[in-house]
Chains A and B, each alone.
Chain A
Amino acid sequence: MAHVLIDPPAASPLPPTPRHSLLRTLLRDRLALLGVVLVVALVLVAILAPWLAPYPGEGRGTANVDAADLAPSAAHPFGTDELGRDMLSRILMGTRPALLISISVVAVAALIGVPLGAIAGYRGGWIDEALMRVTEVFQSFPPLLLAMVVVALLGPDLKNAALALAVSWWPWYARLVRGEARSLRERPFVAAAEAIGVPSRTILHRHIIKNSMTPVLVQATVDVGTVVLAAGSLAFIGLGAQPPAPDWGLMVAEGRSQLFTSWWVSTFAGLAIFVTVLAFNLLGDSLRDILDPRKAER
């Protein structure tokens, strides 16, 4: 017979509440802080661009050929492009469309993917099977290829690029939420809700979807950056925004022909994309560390 084990259950200190540590962690980790500051700055620029830009008209596309190809100076901190447009204004004015497109794409992808994934994961059975097969097909395309094909066939413009990106993005959300839903389905509070006869639509909404919002939020934050990068890439090869739109990817492409004489055009436009993607990556990473300690990177 077993001897009595005298171990009492080890008293574990309660983990600090997420809300409390959210702010603290963001402030402590310098990289996270950088992410927060950059994202806030980007949003402010997106809103205030018409007032911040020194030449808002040029930012929107009006040419000013007398001032073409000027190197960075006090009057034009980022120089001017082939058509004499002030690059600082172009880049500032490009912030709003970049963020708007990206946020819409992510929102649409999540709006399609989250409910589908939740239903599939919660119900299981043939719905689940069918959804998994469909997402598998979508995910068999190397990233961006599906979007490129769709844009190419529909005709290159910004709206089609956004549509194409949303179409190729939703399966990731469906998969993510399905995984969460499957594990949530096994949890006692769901079983309890089922036992007392809560309708399954309410369970789906109240228990499944709400409880899987954390990873969705983290993913969406990172994706806002990734979509800016994707849309910029499409525009760069001519499958996105068309001239004279103030689109960062397009500006990089426009600067390419005089890369070695007017390096500033491509450089600063690309820098804007880089900083935006970096900002959302940093923010998303730290959100993951805080909200989802299991997957934290330490």
Chain B
Amino acid sequence: MTTAPALLQVRDLQIEFTDRGRVTNRPVRGVQLEIGSREVLGVVGETGCGKSITANAILGTLPEQARATGRIEFAGVEQLSLPERERAVNRGDAISIVFQNPGTAFNPVFRLGNQMRMVLRRHRGLRGRAATAIIAERLSDVGLTDTQRVMNAYPHELSGGMLQRVMIAMALLCEPRLLILDEPTTALDVTVARQILLLILRLQHALGFSVLLITHDLGVVKATCDRVAVLYAGRVVETGPADAVLKTPKHPYTQGLVGALPGQSGGRLRSIEGQVPANFLGIQGCAFADRCYAAIDTCRQVDPDLRPVSTTHEVACIRGGEL
């Protein structure tokens, strides 16, 4: 683990959805995360595990009916207690995000150049030529050569892969310290997805920002991440260096995920039986117990916290050491 103070520290993050004062769901139930500077952290898990909403909490873009508690420290400053105005100052500046679907993430009725201009104007007060110069530079950084044409284009005029490059360029406009990638390649073709991943890695090396990569694809994690955190039902169940977690997964859920990777378990694909509960309110004990091959009676009573299995590798399973 990095010895320098972490760039982002998430401690015991809880998120509740309320409807007229009544709690209707608790999609995040005590998430711990840490990202050092220049580090790439992968956050994996099935759909509905609370990955995206955690990213929203870090950015401060939770929906109105959601309430977050716990601590989110970015560059040493606690974020959750900050007023909305001060959080907005960071968004698109020190913390930036790339969304899953570039086709809908851009506003269809504005030219791409103008959408990027609004970001520069908001955070840097730049307009006109100065803004155009920065935008053109970022666009060529992400491999788009005909920058003038891209700036004048409307979103529907570009392909998904090109749009995702523009999205990345927009995210990097203000030289963020943390870049959140929310399933950045899921909506793209396989070959295009590969190119985009390579691009992100190259830019990360060159510019030195940290990355929080949300994905449900362990293959992507293997190819890109320094460390990984596995989320299940709103909790981190395993975290550690990407190699260690993928090679010797300790949590039965991680084992299931790894087993489902092609090329594992003798060429046969395995899947995990059952699915993530739709609502996490009524969960007792370990949320995975119902789907777990190794569950014992205690699992349904105690919800285990993360415990180290080595200096860098932690797992939240009462049988974590033995499996």
Looking at chain B's contact residues, the main secondary structure is loop
Q: Give the chain A neighbours of B271 by CB distance below 8 A.
A: 6
Closest 8 CB pairs of A and B: A3-B219, A8-B275, A7-B47, A3-B217, A2-B190, A6-B260, A4-B260, A11-B278
Is the C-beta of B218 less than 8 angstroms from some C-beta in chain A?
yes
Select which of A4, A7, A10, A11 is within 8 A of B261 by beta carbon. A4
Interface size class of B (residues with CB under 8 A): 10 to 19
Q: Among residues 257 to 305 in chain B, which have CB atoms less than 8 Å away from a CB atom of chain A?
A: 257, 260-262, 269, 271-272, 275-276, 278
A22 to chain B, nearest CB (A): 22
**Is the Cβ of B217 less than 8 Å from the Cβ of A5?**
yes
B21 to chain A: closest CB distance in Å? 17
* Complex-state Cα separation, A3 to B262, whole angstroms: 7
Min CB–CB distance B51 → chain A (angstroms): 11
Q: Evaluate whether A6 and B269 lie within 8 angstroms (CB atoms) in the complex, with A11-B275, A11-B278 already known.
A: no
What are 30 A-B pairs with beta-carbon distances under 8 A? Answer: A1-B190, A1-B262, A2-B190, A3-B217, A3-B218, A3-B219, A3-B220, A3-B261, A3-B262, A4-B260, A4-B261, A4-B262, A4-B269, A5-B216, A5-B217, A6-B46, A6-B216, A6-B257, A6-B260, A6-B272, A7-B46, A7-B47, A8-B46, A8-B47, A8-B275, A8-B276, A10-B48, A11-B275, A11-B278, A13-B278
A6 to B218, CA, bound (A): 9
Chain B positions within 8 Å of A4 at CB level: 260-262, 269
Query: In chain A, residues 1-29, which have Cβ atoms closer than 8 Å to a Cβ of chain B?
Result: 1-8, 10-11, 13
- Interface residues as binary, B38-73 with A (CB distance below 8 Å gives 1, 0 otherwise): 000000001110000000000000000000000000
A-B pairs with CB below 8 Å: how many? 33
Q: How far is the CA of A4 from the CA of B264 in the complex (A)?
A: 12
Mostly, the A contact residues are: loop
* Chain B residues closer than 8 Å to A2, beta-carbon distance: 190
B residues less than 8 Å from A11 (CB atoms): 275, 278
* Complex CA–CA separation, A5 to B45 (angstroms): 10
Report the bound CA distance from A47 to B279 in whole Å. Answer: 52
CB A210 to nearest CB in B, in angstroms, measures 34
Q: How far is the CA of A6 from the CA of B257 in the complex (A)?
A: 7
CB distance from B202 to the nearest CB of A (A): 21
Q: In angstroms, how far is the closest chain A Cβ from the Cβ of B97?
A: 21
Taking each of A4, A5, A10, A11, which has the highest tally of chain B beta carbons within 10 Å of its own beta carbon?
A4
With contacts A3-B218, A13-B278 known, what are 5 further pairs, Cβ within 8 A?
A6-B46, A6-B216, A6-B271, A6-B272, A7-B46
Give min CB distance, B195 to chain A, whole Å. 15
A160 to B47, CA, bound (A): 63
Interface positions of A from 85 to 144, Cβ below 8 Å from B = none
A105 to B125 Cα, complex, angstroms: 62
For B261, the chain A residues whose CB sits under 8 A away are 3-4
Contact between A10 and B260 (Cβ–Cβ < 8 Å)?
A: no
Residues of A near B48 (CB, < 8 A) are: 10
Set of chain B residues within 8 Å of A7, measured between Cβ atoms: 46-47, 216
Q: Which residue of A lies closest to B193 (CB)?
A: A2
Map CB proximity to A onto B196-225 as digits: 1 under 8 Å, 0 otherwise.
Answer: 000000000000000000001111100000
Distance (whole angstroms) from the CB of B87 to the closest CB of chain A? 28
In the complex the two chains form, what is the Cα distance from A4 to B263 in whole Å?
Answer: 11
